[in-house]
Structure 1
Amino acid sequence: MEGFMANGERTQISLRVPSDMIDAFERIAGALDRDRTWVMLQAFQFYLDREGQEILSDAEGIASVDRGETVDWNSAKTRIDAAIARGAAAHVKKAG
């Protein structure tokens, strides 16, 4: 997380944040002996790494379906059943 923030080009933004949230950032910054900006950047990065990636992954999955990049259910089930059967056979062979 730190590497991304340290090396990236910076752009200044302005946003309205509830006062209680700013107070919380200030308290956290004080406890860590860091500035508020550092704490806020950590929070942004944490969100991007978790929620943001999940949202982007979901969006890509939906776009893939929209492009017709899907697998027929019967074909998928046949392949899954075959993989399970191979695994079961290997387990029996290993045990026997």
Structure 2
Amino acid sequence: MSHADTKVVTAHLPRPLAERIDAVAARLDRSRGWIMKQALTAWLDQEEERDRLTREGLADVEAGNVIDHQAVQAWADSLGTDQPFPLPTGR
């Protein structure tokens, strides 16, 4: 990756967090920048997946693909009994 393909981003971090980054970088024999790129990439991937799942859930609600709260509660209450109810399903 050339310098033209990168952008410097500055962030003020609490000293304990910066020290943790330095410790991991030393342990892995990697640069601080490499550690931060890995961490930010993982966090962004997680946030994008959370957003995708939220949108998917909202689309299900709008389409009426929901399970009645009382049915879920009855199922959960039955789990500790000798005859638990089957897992409720949507329409």
- TM-score (structure 1 length as normaliser): 0.51
- Give the CA deviation at 1:59: 3.0
Distance 2:22 2:12 in 1: 16
Are 2:42 and 1:46 aligned? yes
Q: Which whole-Å deviations, capped at 9, do the CAs of 1:17-56 have from their partners, x for residues lacking one?
A: 111111111111111111100011111122233x314421
**Secondary structure of the structure 1 residue equivalent to 2:65:** coil
Kindly tell me the number of residue pairs found equivalent between the two proteins. 69
Whole-Å Cα distance in 2 between the matches of residues 37 and 78 of structure 1?
A: 47
Structure 1 unpaired stretches of 5+: 1-5, 80-96
**Alignment RMSD:** 3.1
- What is the 5 A alignment of 1:15-34? 15-34=11-30
Provide the rounded CA distance (Å) in 2 between the counterparts of 1:69 and 1:78: 11
User: Cα distance 1:11–1:65, how it changes in 2: closer, same or farther (>3 A)?
Assistant: farther
Residue 94 (structure 1) aligns with: none
Percentage of pairs with the same residue: 21
| Alignment match of 1:70 (pick from 61, 64, 74) | 64
Give the counterpart letter for 1:39 in structure 2.
Answer: I
Q: Classify 1:30/1:64 alpha carbon distance in 2 versus 1 (closer, same or farther; 3 Å).
A: same
Structure showing greater radius of gyration is 1
State the SS of the aligned residue for 1:17.
Answer: coil
Q: Which residue of structure 2 lines up, in the alignment, with residue 84 of structure 1?
A: none
Higher share of residues assigned helix: 1
Compared CA separation, residues 27 and 42, structure 1 to 2 (3 A)? same
Unaligned runs of 5+ in 2: 69-88
Q: How far apart are 1:73 and its partner, in Å?
A: 5.3
Query: TM-score, length-normalised on structure 2?
Result: 0.54
